[in-house]
């Protein structure tokens, strides 16, 4: 079996704790090259994972004979990095969010279609085996009309499942050099803020909501099969509450990032005329866990409850396998970017309701 030759652009936290381990565990993958501005870290990672090429810049990496490129840089670099990879004729996997704005995601989708190269976006929950089984059961159409959807995402410091203790994260001893060339994605035009380091950090509430909230929005859209309209949004004490209209079904999002607490608390619920669903999703970097899905349904006089138990399959690992198969099969769809554009448009609409046009 010919292996898929991968180049990795960006060697930060998610590269080290999720993507490089998943690629190393998959016999279909061969990581050929690494590249990041933190060359000390890049060289150490190449030694750890026995990767032959350490590239000094993006052009060097893209000149290699690669089947695909993993773009694992911060989101503000995705527009430039993904465009360059597509221009070089490479298929792409990118961490979420795909871009800083819906407009930028649209540009990437257009570039992918011109290049005729596929781009996959890292929404790993879509690859969770229990969520896939839930979607199969929903498609049978036995539960009646969708009435209500809810996402509750309270993100504590245990989002990484303390993986640092098992896979020590390599960090540079000095700051990375300033980037050479290229432009940072400016994000939505309505954000009246200087495009500085603060803008591209969690100090910018839009950036924080985009980085983490896009998962919640994507999952709600996937499960409902509908495009939501943002009806209202409010924020008190760091907790955001959003009301949606999913084509006649009410939806809500409760969202908070609170690293003062360790607990990861993410629940997604759907209510139909004759059934309800409750999904508990694990901390993203918990390698030994999957979602748990509770199904309740009624058929005549019968009431049934079924639990899809934790199957110990890591969604990141399943996501890696799916991307490698997409490359091997020659699937060059840009559908993930179209999905990402819609997700980011919802985040923008929420931010407008919250008046994230300036911040002090």
Is the domain of 53 the same as that of 158? no
pLDDT, mean of each 10-residue run, the chain (360 residues) = 94 96 97 95 96 96 98 97 98 98 98 97 97 97 96 94 82 68 85 92 94 97 98 94 98 95 96 97 95 93 91 97 97 92 98 74
Specify whether 110 is located in the same domain as 164: no
Could you tell me if residue 189 is inside a domain?
Answer: yes
C-alpha to C-alpha distances, 229 to 151, 221, 232, 243, 261, nearest whole angstrom: 15, 11, 9, 9, 31
Helix (H) or strand (E) holding 354: none
Q: How far apart are CA 291 and CA 67, in angstroms?
A: 31
Note if the bond before 97 is cis, omega within 30 degrees: yes
Are 85 and 137 contained in the same domain?
Answer: no
Helix intervals (H) in the chain: 13-14, 20-25, 39-49, 58-62, 78-87, 102-115, 129-138, 205-224, 315-329, 335-353
Helix axis angle for 129-138 and 205-224, nearest 10°, is 50
235 and 322 fall within a common domain: no
| CATH, residue 243 | 3.30.360.10
Domain limits at 108?
4-123+317-333
Same domain, 43 and 150: no
| Torsion angle of the four alpha carbons 54, 57, 60, 66, in this order, in degrees rounded to the nearest 10 | 70
Number of domains making up the chain: 2
pLDDT of residue 103: 98
| Structure confidence at residue 358 (pLDDT) | 54
- In whole angstroms, what is the distance from residue 31 CA to residue 6 CA? 5
Q: The tokens of 150 are what?
A: 């809810």
304 found inside a domain: yes
Give DSSP secondary structure letters for 192-237.
Answer: -S--STTTTSTTSHHHHHHHHHHHHHHHHHHHH-SPPEEEEEEEET
Residues 94 and 134 in one domain: no
What are the tokens at 124?
């790993």
Q: Would 145 be classed as within a structural domain?
A: yes
User: 31 pairs with which residues across the strands?
Assistant: 6
Q: State the residue for tokens 């570039």.
A: 111
Asked if residue 360 is part of any domain, the answer here is: no
Q: Please indicate, yes or no, if residue 359 is contained in any of the structural domains.
A: no
Q: What is the SS3 assignment for 296?
A: strand
300 domain residue, yes or no: yes
Residues 324 and 187 both lie in one domain: no
Q: Based on the fold, state whether residues 33 and 162 are members of the same structural domain.
A: no
Same domain for 193 and 69:
no
* 285 found inside a domain: yes
Q: Is residue 90 part of a domain?
A: yes
157 and 41, same structural domain?
A: no
pLDDT confidence of residue 177: 62
Do 281 and 325 reside in the same domain of the chain?
no
One domain for residues 82 and 170: no
pLDDT at residue 178, as a whole number: 61
At 181 the pLDDT is 47
Q: Please state, in angstroms and rounded to a whole number, the distance separating the CA atoms of residues 164 and 263.
A: 16
* CA–CA separation, 332 and 334 (whole Å): 7
């Amino acid at each position: 079996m010919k292996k898929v030759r991968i180049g990795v652009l960006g060697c930060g936290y998610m590269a080290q704790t999720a993507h490089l381990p998943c690629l190393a565990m998959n016999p279909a993958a061969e990581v050929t090259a690494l590249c990041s501005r933190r060359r000390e870290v890049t060289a150490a990672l190449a030694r750890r994972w026995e990767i032959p090429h350490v590239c000094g810049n993006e052009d060097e990496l893209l000149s290699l004979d690669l089947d695909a490129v993993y773009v694992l840089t911060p989101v503000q670099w995705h527009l430039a990095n993904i465009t360059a990879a597509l221009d070089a004729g490479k298929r792409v996997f990118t961490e979420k969010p795909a871009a800083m704005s819906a407009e930028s995601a649209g540009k990437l989708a257009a570039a992918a279609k011109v290049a005729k190269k596929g781009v996959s976006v890292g929404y790993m929950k879509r690859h969770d085996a229990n969520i896939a089984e839930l979607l199969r059961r929903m498609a049978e159409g036995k539960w009646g009309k969708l009435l209500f959807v809810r996402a509750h995402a309270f993100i504590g410091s245990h989002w990484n499942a303390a993986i640092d203790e098992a896979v020590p994260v390599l960090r540079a001893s000095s700051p990375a050099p300033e980037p050479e060339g290229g432009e940072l994605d400016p994000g939505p035009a309505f954000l009246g803020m200087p495009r500085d380091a603060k803008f591209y950090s969690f100090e910018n509430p839009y950036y924080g909501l985009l980085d983490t909230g896009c998962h919640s929005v994507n999952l709600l859209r996937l499960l409902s099969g509908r495009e939501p309209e943002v009806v209202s949004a409010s924020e008190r004490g760091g907790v955001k509450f959003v009301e949606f209209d999913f084509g006649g079904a009410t939806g809500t999002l409760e969202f908070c990032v609170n690293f003062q607490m360790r607990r990861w608390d993410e629940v997604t619920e759907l209510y139909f005329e004759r059934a309800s669903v409750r999904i508990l999703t694990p901390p993203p970097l918990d390698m030994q866990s999957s979602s748990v899905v509770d199904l309740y349904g009624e058929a005549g006089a019968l009431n049934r409850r079924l639990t899809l138990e934790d199957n110990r399959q890591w969604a990141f690992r399943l996501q890696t396998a799916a991307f490698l198969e997409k490359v091997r099969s020659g699937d060059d769809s840009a559908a993930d970017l179209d999905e990402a554009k819609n997700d980011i448009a919802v985040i923008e609409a929420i931010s407008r309701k919250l008046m994230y046009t300036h911040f002090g």
